[in-house]
Amino acid sequence: MLSELQKEEILELISLKQEGAYWDFKKEWYEEGKQPDLLHDIICMSNNLENRDAYIIIGIDEENDYSICDVINDPNRRKTQDIVSFLREKKFAGGIRPTAYVQPVTLWKKTIDIIVIRNDRNTPYYLTEQYQGVFANNIYARIMDTNTPKNASADINIIEKLWKKRFGIDATALDRALLFLQKPYDWVDSNNGKKFYKYAPEFTLEDIQAEDGRDGYEFYLFNQCDSRPRWYDINIYHHQTLLYSLGGVALDGGRCFTSTPRTDGLSLYKDSYHHWDVSYKYFIKDSIEYTIHQFYITDNMDEELTARQRFLECVLIFETEFERTKFNAFVIGNYERYNIDAFSDRLPHFPDLEGYNMDAFKKDYLQSQLLQQMLKDFRS
């Protein structure tokens, strides 16, 4: 499904009135004899150099000032399953095919279709068996607003970039580490307490008790059975070089381990620009913090699953930084429509801790529940 943010992006692309490095316009769906064109376009888009999802936007008439052509009655219209079956029948190298789906979008009471080609690191995609005019072993790519011709391969420098993307050798040391951390089962425990990536052992990870002696509480600890804080430092190394350091926390007496989320806040009123009226904890899915959070997920016990679920009830997870920015604007414009007291039945037990303002913790917890509801409403 396209998010509201992606729909906004589609509108922006149409308003540009030109094609680009990851989007293409079609007036109508591919006719019966145009299947080779469909396959060729999908392969080119899957091999785009922008390192992102690509779009084939169907229902835009380039020759008529990029006006919208309703595809609702297009006799050649296809659904996601049609595209999946179409690609499955083709012989791709290694049996790995582009991931694509069809998403209808209604604009001004007219329907257009978007073929979304998902970004991944399996490039370059190419055929090992010719399909009509789409040749075997030709590597097609999308460069600026142009596809590689069917009877040719992309230039050697483009092909090199696509192979480098697959193997992660076009990336910085930190980017490579994050790529490897997406494969937690390929990491091995060493004798010195660190983990190392078995295919590139110069990359290591350690989690050690926080050296600064942190022992304070956060509101999200109180919905755990054991709310005592246990803070850690998580360090990522390449050889002896520290690439990145971030915080970690052991939840529920150590039953669950995670990176700590980021913090942000909002000023809701004109006279409060110098302080936050609302604050929240969050992850962004393509961030280091979220990658590390995912890295530490195991299937070992139900207690860990419960602790992690309780933790995530208090933390907002955004698809992108762009989505978070849009959500912030939504909160500022709609916060007064919500009643924070409606979430009071979700409050866990808060013990009386000497030296702490427990009412402030309770407020933070209630705000996290309200904002979770606002995020659901924002997306719907």
Q: What is the pLDDT of residues 234-246, one digit of tens each?
A: 999 999 999 999 9
Q: Are residues 153 and 215 in the same domain?
A: no
- The pTM of the full predicted model, rounded to 2 decimals, is 0.73
Q: Cβ atoms within 10 A of the Cβ of 5, count?
A: 17
Domain count, the chain: 2
Last residue of a domain, one of 166, 197, 219: 166
Is residue 248 within 8 A of residue 258, CB to CB? The reply is: yes
Tell me what pLDDT residue 171 has: 82
Same domain, 188 and 334: yes
**162 and 231 part of one domain:** no
Do 177 and 111 share a structural domain? Answer: no
Indicate the SS3 state at residue 16: helix
So what's the pLDDT on residue 179? Answer: 87
Are 367 and 311 within one domain?
yes
Residue 1 is predicted with a pLDDT of 62
Residue ending a domain, among 112, 147, 166, is 166
Note the pLDDT of residue 286: 85
Low-confidence ranges of the chain (pLDDT < 70): 1-4, 271-273, 300
- 186 and 286, same domain (yes or no): yes
**What phi and psi values does residue 286 have, to the nearest 5 degrees?**
-95, 15
